[in-house]
Structure 1
Amino acid sequence: MKLSAVLTVLFLCISKLAFAESVGFQQFQLASDTSRPLKVSLWYPTSQNSPSESVAENLAFIGTEVIKDASVLPTKHPLVLLSHGYRGNWRNQSWLANSLALKGYVVAAINHPGTTTFNHSRLQASQWWQRPHDLVRVLDYLLEDTIWRASIDAENVSAIGHSLGGWSVMQLVGAQLDRDAFKAQCQLYANPKTCGLADELGLTSSQPGEPKFFNFYDPRIKKAVILDLGGARSFSLKSMAKVETPVLILGAGIDIGDLPQAMESGYLAEHLPLFNRHYKVYEQAMHFSFLQVCKPGAITLIEEEVPGDGIVCKDGSGTSRLKLHQQMFKDIFSFLTHA
């Protein structure tokens, strides 16, 4: 194909997005018959520009400016589902959600009960299969809701996950838990985080109510973005080899004491089919560089409350989290629109 034709195709893909000057924001709770209510946060493009207020901000982290309960631009928008990491929350990738909404996306982030900042229930944490199911529940709701189904392009749905969220998203595109393989890998490469949390996350033995089959593939998910995941070695090689959904794998180059990215993100990249996976490492990024930008003095503030947790605001020397986010967004947006 000639370069001019390629550029034309790329332009047409981007031109379908309804870019916006402002971001609308809503939150609601998705009820459940299984005692697992989900808090959902939505970012989306809007033509309204006031009244503006900050969300996802606290003493340590910078939030984003949104128009609460604004109307959504009247056209079909691509949808992105966001899954946070272990004991994270909907705020963690708010910088990414806001940026995508400005480019015309509807973005839905949820708190996963049991593994979120606000809910440490060991029972819910051990129900590992609920994490991918949480994302499916939100997708089902948005595509069935009278208002949102008119605003979402059901043929353009992607999922993005950080850390344990990346592990959850991978299951939606076909990766499957293999307990025997996971146990063997932990014996070979013992590590304090992924292997150390295995009992809490229900990965070492069968759990009450666990599905008989571990196949959570959802064909509605057309693309997946994996942000420095953990737990890649718990997936069966056979299931990874069969993944056909395009996957962008982004790793953090600086090790923080767990398995280095080459043994997590790199392992995933090694075993996914080459034709549909993209893999990049940010050499100056740390695991938590994918979280919000921290405020000045945040490290000291966090260390005073929980010694050791200040690491969530640390990045590699010679860069800044804002610069890293700019490159990350460029790579993610390019993948979502061009891959």
Structure 2
Amino acid sequence: MKTLAIALVLSSIASAALAEGAGLRVIQIEMPHHAAEARVAIWYPRGAGGTPTVYADNPVFVGVEAFVDAEPAAGAFPVVLFSHGMGGTDGAQAWLGEALAALGAMVVMMNLPNSTWGDFDMTEGVRHWTRAADLLRALDVLADDPDLGPHLDATRVMAAGFSYDGWTALSLGGMTGNLDGLVGACTAHVETMDACDMLLSDAVGLQRQDPREWNASYADARVTSVVAIDPGFVWGLDQENVQALVPDALLIGLGDGETQMSATDFTASGLAALIPDADTLQLAPAFHFTAMPVCQPGGAAILEAEQDDPVCTDPPGTDRAAVHAAIVDALAVRLGL
């Protein structure tokens, strides 16, 4: 805790030279491995200018303030490659991108082909290696950008992700999959573990995936740290799968024994025990979707009327904004902000 307090003080000093607010640039990039385009939101420390807007605001979720196409601040900044999870969007964790950019980081958030709200195909999306390729493609585009590329600090590149894409982050940091182990765990817990019935269904066919692709390494040498927020696919792993994981790894769990999703429970699955040198942070009261944006006053009623997931209905006593702040602080410390 002492180290965290010191780091937070330093971050406030370092960010004092930045203009108020965060810069935001939204672009479309070609994704050759998908034969498609993807939208990428790049958050960055703002130097001056930009068009003020409220990004990702809608009747359900509260948006965040941004300065679109602002000039980047002077200096080099750590990079966060963030992946939103199955069925999410870049706006789902805009609160994280905006907050880290205001502290002095560049955050890359993209709408993953086949895995984004409105562009969703679980049969394709389950192929996790394509998601790793998505983030690396975005990093390459950012590095080549004449305006933002020169501001990247290549010595501090974090892969971070939520839910299914907590796994993507771990994969980029050196963890490898274990298809037989995951299928075995899902088969054993199909009635109690979230999403296993869908994963094992005829339409998705987890058990029919190619083990050579599933179990291969998708590590990238540029990735120096990893943060996995309530990560999926954490069951059925063994020591061989974690031996190449970068040493600076953080697992963040949302909820407790009553509210955490079984599929993302990195303690019950044995993952935390496999990587004792990694840090863990358990946030409660909370549940999986507490990582979604703060909800509008009528957000829960809208979702209920549409028979959608109750992502605005946190466990009693949850302060969603406080959970978000704890996640921001944890990432900021690891980035040296």
- Note the alpha carbon deviations across 1:213-232, whole angstroms, 9 max, x for none: 61101121111111111111
| 1:33 corresponds to | 32
Contact 1:74 1:151 in 2 (8 A): yes
1:267 deviates by 3.0
1:132 deviates by 0.9
Alignment of 1:84-95 (within 5 A): 84-95=84-95
| 1:302 corresponds to | 303
- % identical aligned pairs: 27
| 1:197 corresponds to | 198
Alignment of 1:19-30 (within 5 A): 19-30=18-29
Structure-1-length-normalised TM-score: 0.87
Contact 1:23 1:102 in 2 (8 A): yes
Alignment of 1:263-278 (within 5 A): 263=266, 267-272=270-275, 274-275=276-277, 277-278=278-279
* RMSD value, Cα: 2.9
Contact 1:20 1:103 in 2 (8 A): no
Which residue, 189, 206, 209 being the options, matches 2:209?
206
Contact 1:166 1:228 in 2 (8 A): yes
* Pair 1:54 & 2:54 matched: yes
- Note the alpha carbon deviations across 1:286-324, whole angstroms, 9 max, x for none: 10111110010211111111x251x21122212321122
For 1:256 and 1:181, locate their aligned partners in 2 and report how far apart those are by CA, in whole Å: 25
1:236 deviates by 4.4
Alignment of 1:159-238 (within 5 A): 159-190=159-190, 191=192, 193-199=194-200, 203-206=206-209, 211=213, 214-238=216-240
Q: Which deviates the most, 328-337 or 175-184?
A: 328-337
The alignment partner of 1:108 has SS state of strand
The alignment partner of 1:37 has SS state of strand
Structure 1 segments unaligned to the other structure (5+ residues): none
1:74 deviates by 2.2
The alignment partner of 1:129 has SS state of helix
How many aligned residue pairs are there? 330
Contact 1:23 1:67 in 2 (8 A): yes
For 1:56 and 1:187, locate their aligned partners in 2 and report how far apart those are by CA, in whole Å: 38
Contact 1:76 1:153 in 2 (8 A): yes
1:11 deviates by 7.4
- Note the alpha carbon deviations across 1:152-206, whole angstroms, 9 max, x for none: 1111111210001101111101111111111221233224534223255563223
Structure 2 segments unaligned to the other structure (5+ residues): none
Alignment of 1:41-190 (within 5 A): 41-48=41-48, 51-122=51-122, 124-190=124-190
For 2:326 and 2:7, locate their aligned partners in 1 and report how far apart those are by CA, in whole Å: 23
Alignment of 1:269-288 (within 5 A): 269-272=272-275, 274-275=276-277, 277-288=278-289
The alignment partner of 2:157 has SS state of strand
The alignment partner of 1:113 has SS state of coil
For 1:137 and 1:202, locate their aligned partners in 2 and report how far apart those are by CA, in whole Å: 27
| 2:331 corresponds to | 332
Which residue, 251, 254, 261 being the options, matches 2:253?
251
For 2:77 and 2:284, locate their aligned partners in 1 and report how far apart those are by CA, in whole Å: 33
For 1:251 and 1:77, locate their aligned partners in 2 and report how far apart those are by CA, in whole Å: 27
Structure-2-length-normalised TM-score: 0.87
Letter aligned with residue 217 of structure 2: N
Q: Which deviates the most, 21-30 or 180-189?
A: 180-189
The alignment partner of 1:31 has SS state of strand
User: Is the alpha carbon distance of 1:10 and 1:25 closer, same or farther for their aligned partners in structure 2, counting shifts above 3 Å?
Assistant: closer
The alignment partner of 2:41 has SS state of strand
For 1:98 and 1:304, locate their aligned partners in 2 and report how far apart those are by CA, in whole Å: 30
Q: Which deviates the most, 314-323 or 108-117?
A: 314-323
User: Is the alpha carbon distance of 1:49 and 1:284 closer, same or farther for their aligned partners in structure 2, counting shifts above 3 Å?
Assistant: farther
Contact 1:78 1:105 in 2 (8 A): yes
1:47 deviates by 2.7
